[in-house]
Structure 1
Amino acid sequence: MSKRFKKPKRAAARFAKSIPTIELIIDRIGGKGDGVSEINKIPNTPSEQKQSYFVPGTLPGEHVIARPVSKTNEGIFGQLLEIIKVSDDRVTAPCSYFGVCGGCSLQHWAPTSYQQWKVARIKSSITKISSPNTIVDNLVPAKAQTRRRADLSVRYLKTKSVLGFYERDSNRIVDIEACSLLDPEIINFSNAFRKVSHLLIQQEESSRISINKLDTGLDVLIFLESEPSLEGLEAINDLTHSHDLCRVSARIKPSNDIVPIIEKKIPAIRFSEVNVIPPPGAFLQATKEGTRLITEAVISGISGSKTILELFSGCGTLSIPLQYHATVHAVEGDQLAAVALRKATVKAGIDSRLSVEIRDLIKDPFPADKLSEYDAIVFDPPRSGAKKQAEQIAKNGPHTVVAVSCNPNTFARDGEILIKGGYELKKVTPIDQFLWSPHIELVAVFYRTE
């Protein structure tokens, strides 16, 4: 699965600061984690005339005063000014940056209600594709400080560097020195990197770093506008040894080629006792525990299959565990990730059970006429889903299809294609890899009924 990074954009239509405030009753939490209030545009008009207000930091049932800030096609976004009636589900956020930093949106919600809402999101999204026989498991919750990958932004100002996540809907970087979400090793390194970042980027210049926690240490990819200075390289060397990094690389403009800076030890991640050396900045599942739970749910779903086609295989998160249960053909569009997986299979001596193909499945989906060669398909596409691939599976897919998704909406769209092609949704397992955010991971099992 490919990784994507988007710099936040400011809202297009913003209201004047002198606009009057408005009192709202929060009805629900929306798909982005905001409290949503629906009020009539014109009094005593039908429901289709309602106007949606989105207010971050609020909870269902709360009465609030908000200032309208901007308007989009979705509705009006507001700034919370005062809570008149507080929800019983409101708790103190564990992070001092909450409400400013754009990394989390739901730290103020009691865990039980928060988890129930995430399950309800999935149930709502699968209404059209589920049946009375569909089983939705209980949510598997995430733990604090277990996130093992992070994209952090950095900017060198006149007097200091700031490093952290973007403020929501803003180009301002929130300078974070602690994080309730990320693994402490990542935060400790980022705090040290902040102190030397001025040696690598120019004043008033923005950049970012991608950090993956592998089994052998932190793997760091730095995005640079120009070649690093000797002083900057020396600082990176010192950080590598003081923070026990396994590898540091840089992606340097204008070529955007990834070049190695230092490799202290082999940068490896272990999937079912097989070591893989991922490319710098590679996609990893967000938490180690989440990876284990996803793997278990997928293996349960393909039980009894002897040949498996895995689509969007990445570096082998699922391919390698699956090959202990069946012969696997893994397909991945990212050439560097696919090559890393192929090398790992050869070194581990499992290439006879696990073959690897490089193919851009978004543009060139695996064709329907070849799908009958397999007993089961496993696919884990990016957040945008895999509409074209789902269409091919619906035409001629095998008995069992297991889907892994981090977006209930695109999953439901692709799932509906499978249902129309003769599949039935048997089971969904929700896994909360994305603590305190509106995002949710799921594993779904489909069986062909026709």
Structure 2
Amino acid sequence: MHSEGRITGLSDDGLGVLGRSDRPIYVPFAYPGDGVRVKSTRRRFGRLLAGDFELLEPSPLRVNPKCLHFGTCGGCLWQGLKYREQLRLKADLFERITGLSAEIKGSPKIWGFRNISNFIVTTSGIGLKEYGSPLRIVDLVECPVFSKRTRDYLHSLRAFLSETGLKPWNLKKKADDVHYLQVREGKFTGEVMVNLIAHGKPSEEVAEAFGDYFSFADSLYWSVKRNERDDPTGEPELLGGEPFIRERIGDVTYFIHPNSFFQTNSYALPLLLRAVEGFTDGERVLDLYSGVGTFGVWLAKRGFAVEGIEINPFAVEMARKNAELNGVNAVFRVGRAEETPIGDYDTVIVDPPRKGLREAGELLVKSGVERVIYISCNPRAFKLDYENHLKKAYRIEDALLVDMFPHAPHVEAVVKLVRKN
């Protein structure tokens, strides 16, 4: 049965909402004010999700999308929205979820801003997954949010596969050779890292061909994937070039490795770093989920004495390299956040995984630290951490949103918490 009507709002995850509040239909790629006719639905995670739908009357919030894959590719739900409306709606969603009203800063660039892309390589196409379908792939020609060179990267990969006879991954059978192509770009250095993720090591001939087809790369890796999980991970081996590429953010240079997590938007990252810096007071700073030192090294460059704690030993090694590269006073150690004694620090920075702080929240409550800076792209996790733990000892003094993810519903929040008197 067809359902017809006007999109009246957005869900917390950025889908258009159609119909009665007791039985809504959630419509991807639809926005408030759109008149739509939904032709099919399917039940997913306990709610009705529109399949095929027709746009009858476009919302005044709409703009023509730049990417020819928009509407099927799962990467950009909001590319059909005017950018100023994206910012307004992100701030609205954040306030709806957390109860906090916060200023939002837009990304300086909304095209070509991503410094990493993971292209899945399958028998049904090479590119990104369709929205809501783990087994259907959009066979990409371009990706304007990632790079102008996407066409070149994908052309090189297809030619490499054709010459070597390596088989793309079969999603249904969970078998065959090449699973992902990961490409990283240093937006401010121009350096490129290419990492092929495959189920097996290359022969000498294959490794040589790989180097020939991607000769433009400053760093060339082959990662061996030893499981069938559908994610871009493996054990990396350097085949050519430098072991790291560099990204330059303001006056700080960061090394990047295939196993490094680094914020995906190089152009908006300075806004995020300055927001954290602006909320940081005192001299001694604890960076409780320090990763590769993104925040800690930046703050140390500005004269703070920084100590970082991170559970991943490789990330700690990279953080130490980044501190040495920039000649700063920052010490990074391996440790679990929830087991870290919090001593005489002026500010603690937390950028926890998506699940949030959990036990580490109680650790902060029992500490004597005056201020906590909470960084997160998951407002629900922040709300739970605050309501269940941090609220016992801290009040929210300020918050700022930074749009690290143009054309997607997500937003990065920086919240300053100050100990109650």
For normalisation by structure 2, the TM-score amounts to 0.88
Deviations along 1:172-197, whole A, 9 cap, x unmatched?
22111212211224553233223213
Distance 1:397 1:36 in 2: 45
Distance 2:399 2:159 in 1: 45
For 1:144, the equivalent position in structure 2 comes to 111
Shift of 1:292: 0.5
Shift of 1:59: 1.7
For 1:10, the equivalent position in structure 2 comes to none
Shift of 1:273: 4.5
Task: Tell me if structure 2 keeps the 8 A contact 1:57–1:80.
Answer: no
Shift of 1:226: 1.3
Give the alignment of 1:162-181 within 5 angstroms: 162-170=125-133, 171-181=135-145
Task: Tell me if structure 2 keeps the 8 A contact 1:98–1:107.
Answer: yes
For 2:316, the equivalent position in structure 1 comes to 338
Distance 2:207 2:2 in 1: 52
Whichever residue aligns with residue 194 of structure 2, its letter is V
For 1:427, the equivalent position in structure 2 comes to 398
Distance 2:70 2:156 in 1: 22
Whichever residue aligns with residue 139 of structure 1, its letter is K
Q: Does 1:228 align with 2:202?
A: yes
For 2:258, the equivalent position in structure 1 comes to 280
1:311–1:339: structure 2 CA closer, same or farther, 3 Å change rule?
Answer: same
For 1:190, the equivalent position in structure 2 comes to 154
Fraction of identical pairs, as percent = 23
Instruction: Point out the more displaced range, 424-433 or 232-241.
Output: 232-241
Distance 1:52 1:115 in 2: 25
Distance 1:432 1:84 in 2: 30
Distance 2:253 2:33 in 1: 50
1:257–1:286: structure 2 CA closer, same or farther, 3 Å change rule?
Answer: closer
For 1:91, the equivalent position in structure 2 comes to 63
SS at match of 2:156: helix
1:201–1:445: structure 2 CA closer, same or farther, 3 Å change rule?
Answer: farther
Task: Tell me if structure 2 keeps the 8 A contact 1:216–1:265.
Answer: no
For 1:4, the equivalent position in structure 2 comes to none
Q: Does 1:396 align with 2:367?
A: yes
For 2:292, the equivalent position in structure 1 comes to 315
- RMSD (CA atoms): 2.3
Q: Does 1:219 align with 2:179?
A: no
Distance 1:82 1:377 in 2: 50
Instruction: Point out the more displaced range, 91-100 or 104-113.
Output: 104-113
Q: Does 1:202 align with 2:167?
A: yes
1:408–1:145: structure 2 CA closer, same or farther, 3 Å change rule?
Answer: same
Which of 13, 17, 25 aligns to 1:36? It is 17
For 1:13, the equivalent position in structure 2 comes to none
Instruction: Point out the more displaced range, 65-74 or 321-330.
Output: 65-74
For 1:61, the equivalent position in structure 2 comes to 33
Distance 2:60 2:70 in 1: 19
Shift of 1:147: 0.9
Whichever residue aligns with residue 24 of structure 1, its letter is G
Task: Tell me if structure 1 keeps the 8 A contact 2:40–2:50.
Answer: yes
Task: Tell me if structure 2 keeps the 8 A contact 1:212–1:219.
Answer: yes
Deviations along 1:231-264, whole A, 9 cap, x unmatched?
32122212342x2x12122221438432221125
Which of 294, 305, 317 aligns to 2:272? It is 294
Deviations along 1:189-241, whole A, 9 cap, x unmatched?
23322321353742544501222223361122221111213332122212342
SS at match of 1:289: coil
SS at match of 1:389: helix
Whichever residue aligns with residue 5 of structure 2, its letter is L
1:377–1:85: structure 2 CA closer, same or farther, 3 Å change rule?
Answer: same
Distance 1:300 1:418 in 2: 24
Task: Tell me if structure 2 keeps the 8 A contact 1:66–1:80.
Answer: yes
Task: Tell me if structure 1 keeps the 8 A contact 2:35–2:58.
Answer: yes
Task: Tell me if structure 2 keeps the 8 A contact 1:156–1:201.
Answer: no
1:294–1:274: structure 2 CA closer, same or farther, 3 Å change rule?
Answer: closer
Distance 1:388 1:437 in 2: 30
Task: Tell me if structure 2 keeps the 8 A contact 1:154–1:173.
Answer: no
Task: Tell me if structure 1 keeps the 8 A contact 2:354–2:377.
Answer: yes
Whichever residue aligns with residue 66 of structure 1, its letter is V
Distance 1:397 1:250 in 2: 47
Whichever residue aligns with residue 313 of structure 1, its letter is S
Give the alignment of 1:357-368 within 5 angstroms: 357-361=333-337, 365-367=338-340
For 2:307, the equivalent position in structure 1 comes to 329
Task: Tell me if structure 2 keeps the 8 A contact 1:210–1:281.
Answer: no
- Gaps of at least 5 residues in structure 2 are 171-175, 228-233
Task: Tell me if structure 2 keeps the 8 A contact 1:212–1:281.
Answer: no
Deviations along 1:263-303, whole A, 9 cap, x unmatched?
25752334564544333241111111221111100110013
